[in-house]
Amino acid sequence: MARYSPSLQNLISRLGKLPGVGGRSSQRLAFHILSMKQDEADALVNAITEARKLTRRCAVCQNFTDSDPCPICSDPKRDKTTLCVVESPRDVSAFERMHEYNGLYHVLHGVYNPVGNMNMNDITLTELFARLTEHDEIKEVIVATNQTAEGNATALYISRLLAPSGIKVTRLASGLPMGSDIEFADDITLASALKGRKTIGS
């Protein structure tokens, strides 16, 4: 005998396909959804359908947006000579939260990962190079992919392809996080901090 009614079982299994939602939490979410007030449930369903309908990629920077070009690309106050290349829209959000960067962005929607099923054509490199060719005001490309093997490989690939263009390609500094203990640093981070050491006062 089925443990739950077919429609409830279907909801549980659909929720269980979401990332980070295991067996127990899919049941908990399903029961919560059943017990929601009608307007709350409608709001949830509408949020899903509206976000999927309205959200598209900005034709310029490829970030998720409701308006194309996105508010950042169409903001005349942004510095149009600097371009920060990131893996995901969440990274743009992290940069914006910091309030220290005023340039433009380019969202790759992934990184080069030869072992995964993602290759160079799945990420928005073509759009990046087209953008750099068309807009010669960009003087610096900051490659802010994650400090992972894939992120580093993608950064290297971009820097090599841009080498002939004369555009300055930089990478975010790697090293010890602020406030961290050397004792607990992993070997690779410590080695990278040593290699990137700087003269005090410079």
Residues that bind a copy of itself (CB under 8 A): 1-8, 10-11, 14-15, 17-21, 25, 27-34, 36, 40-41, 43-45, 47-55, 64-67, 70-72, 75, 88-90, 93, 96-97
Which residues face 140 on adjacent strands? Answer: 82, 168
Nearest CA among 91, 79, 82 for reference residue 145: 91
Which residue's CB is nearer to a copy of itself, number 14 or number 168? 14
Which residue's CB is nearer to a copy of itself, number 54 or number 191? 54
Give the DSSP H or E segment for 184. Answer: none
Residue 185: CB minimum distance to a copy of itself, A:
24
Residue 46: CB minimum distance to a copy of itself, A:
8
Residue 20: CB minimum distance to a copy of itself, A:
5
Residue 123: CB minimum distance to a copy of itself, A:
13
Asked if residues 27 and 12 have their Cβ atoms less than 8 Å apart, the reply is yes
Separation between Cα atoms, residue 108 and residue 147, nearest integer Å:
15
Q: Torsion-angle region of residue 166: left (phi > 0), alpha (psi -120 to 50) or beta?
A: left
Residue 161: CB minimum distance to a copy of itself, A:
26
Which residue's CB is nearer to a copy of itself, number 52 or number 195? 52
Give the tokens for residue 182: 């050397």
Report the amino acid identity of residue 111. V
Which residue's CB is nearer to a copy of itself, number 104 or number 169? 104
**Alpha carbon of 188 to those of 5, 86, 127, 150, 175: distances in Å?**
52, 22, 33, 15, 9
